[in-house]
Structure 1
Amino acid sequence: MTGWTIEALHDDHAQALRESAVLYDSRTDHQRLRVFENGLFGRVLTLDDVVQVTERDNFIYHEMLTHVPILAHGAARRVLIVGGGDGGMAREVLRHASVEHVTMVEIDAGVVEFCKQYLPAISAGAFDDPRLELVIDDGAAFMRRDGPGHDVIIVDSTDPIGPGEVLFTDTFYGHAKRRLNAGGILVTQSGVPFVQGAELAGTMRAFTALFADATCYLATVPTYAGGPMAFGWGTDGDAREASLDVLATRLAKAGIETGYYTPEVHRAAFALPGYVKRLIA
């Protein structure tokens, strides 16, 4: 359809977004990048015609992949982000004044540069924060090397095709665990279980072998079509047991206003429907 972007990530299901204006369309060494305006979602970034982020609903995804592990941990000082070239994940992590250092590893410098220009509201100045160290590198290669430990590791990957495929392997997760400090937490983008069940099942199989506490939690992001999105959770600590009162106290101390995350949503996100429970069993 002329004037529409058709995302056909799944064989039997697609979504369409109207393009009121195309602002950017170019192929890098790794993928095709496009930014267009949509009347409902504002500016939309797609990679190889798959929606990655929008101005309107990105807060849900970014808040749930950052505030859940950071507030559950309670004392996170060093955070590693793998992927996240649009800067939204760094934006939310850096809202925590208690976080002293953030390393962001992005494979494609082109993504970072054009997001700064065409989607500045997503990063909201995060790239200028002196606590952020931006590393242009392959995330899997970076994780294999020795380096400092982290209290929280966030894998903000694309779907397991193309450059993002290596970020869904057992080997990658094993290397990530090695980079966690004691009591550290690994969280991952694990797809939409209703239409990408194998993706979540594979992640949970690896996490169960690696971590004492391995599960997932959910959030509904409108442009990630097909139902609630799952986020993998792995730790050897007891952070998931943080009570509602503890989470509320930590959020108040952080002084952060959120659009989706609340302590109640945090706790409820780990209450899984039957079809998801069966996928991760």
Structure 2
Amino acid sequence: MSEKIFERLNDASGVYFEGTLVERRRTPFQLLEVYDTAELGRIFRLDGFNMTSERDEFFYHENLVHPAAVAHPSPRRALVIGGGDGGSSEELVKHPSLEVVHMAELDPDVIEVAKAQFGKVHRGVFDNPRLKVTVGDGLEYLRTTGQRYDLVSMDLTDPVGPSAELYSPATFALAKRAMTADGALTLHMGSPFSHPARVRETLASLRQVFKRVAPYFAHIPLYGSIWGFACASDVIDPRALTPEQVDGVIGERKIRDLQYYNGETHRAVFAIPNYVKPLVAP
């Protein structure tokens, strides 16, 4: 039976999709739901929030991963905190210099359901020998790891409740400690229209830890809004790349199957709308 699947943007607004429930389970950590929809195919939800969908996952995952990965001259090791659906890891393994992509996912049920239900998102990355999966608390992994990574992607739920700690200066400092000197961290920040304070606070926290913080924005159909991302580093600044340089790197690395990202979109996502500029100003 079809039902309306609501995605709240804030206390006053939201969007919905028509869909049919495929699976619902209460894990030790969260409520997990899978729906089939006509608009976006299969949708993955956690605790009542849309995480990813078959048809628009590339809007989010390509923008989370490639601006930093392309800006890095030769990334060898990458870490994904969260990202149990496999979408971010699948984008990372497109970069041939990456020897290891390490996923630290809290909830094993997320990985289990993703493997079974979301092949169009992970595209077989769980069978890629370069992917190493650790099931456990990503924050604890950052506290204890002795590894160093060129790229860290924090592919997390929104900073609500216990997840808010993951967007704190203390967590970003732990991530920096796990990075190489020229490494880069990426994460999403939410909607500058529906949650402007969240964007402002996330950038302020990043700037306490990193010398270069580059906010950028893209529309995500599943989330019903323009969505904020950030790349943070002491060395790398993806805003310095021209479209020609980006397309050159894509060609040199023989990166295929990009549905969103190219040199022109790289430049475009870093173009800040006027109404957003006060939020992102240092």
Query: Following the alignment from structure 1 to structure 2, what is the Cα–Cα distance between the partners of residues 146 and 34?
Result: 32
- 5 Å-filtered alignment, 1:1-281, equals 3-19=3-19, 21-225=20-224, 227-240=225-238, 241-255=240-254, 256-281=256-281
Offset of residue 213 of structure 1: 1.1
Query: Following the alignment from structure 1 to structure 2, what is the Cα–Cα distance between the partners of residues 46 and 88?
Result: 14
The answer on whether the counterparts of 1:156 and 1:189 sit within 8 Å (CA) in structure 2 is yes
Query: Following the alignment from structure 1 to structure 2, what is the Cα–Cα distance between the partners of residues 116 and 258?
Result: 21
The answer on whether the counterparts of 2:243 and 2:262 sit within 8 Å (CA) in structure 1 is no
TM-score normalized with structure 1 length: 0.95
Query: Following the alignment from structure 2 to structure 1, what is the Cα–Cα distance between the partners of residues 229 and 9?
Result: 19
The answer on whether the counterparts of 2:189 and 2:198 sit within 8 Å (CA) in structure 1 is yes
Identity across the alignment (%): 34
Offset of residue 247 of structure 1: 1.4
Number of residues paired by the alignment?
A: 279
Moved over 6 A (4+): none
The answer on whether the counterparts of 2:82 and 2:106 sit within 8 Å (CA) in structure 1 is yes
Give the 3 Å change call, closer, same or farther, for CA 24–243 of structure 1 in structure 2.
same
The answer on whether the counterparts of 1:30 and 1:163 sit within 8 Å (CA) in structure 2 is no
Give the 3 Å change call, closer, same or farther, for CA 9–273 of structure 1 in structure 2.
closer
Query: Following the alignment from structure 1 to structure 2, what is the Cα–Cα distance between the partners of residues 232 and 239?
Result: 11
TM-score normalized with structure 2 length: 0.95
The answer on whether the counterparts of 1:44 and 1:53 sit within 8 Å (CA) in structure 2 is yes
The answer on whether the counterparts of 1:140 and 1:166 sit within 8 Å (CA) in structure 2 is no
Offset of residue 2 of structure 1: 6.8
Offset of residue 70 of structure 1: 0.5
CA distances 1:99-128 after superposition (whole Å, capped 9, x unpaired): 110110111001000111111221111011
Give the 3 Å change call, closer, same or farther, for CA 146–25 of structure 1 in structure 2.
closer
The answer on whether the counterparts of 2:17 and 2:39 sit within 8 Å (CA) in structure 1 is no
Give the 3 Å change call, closer, same or farther, for CA 162–110 of structure 1 in structure 2.
farther
Return the letter of the residue paired with 1:18: E
The answer on whether the counterparts of 1:151 and 1:180 sit within 8 Å (CA) in structure 2 is yes
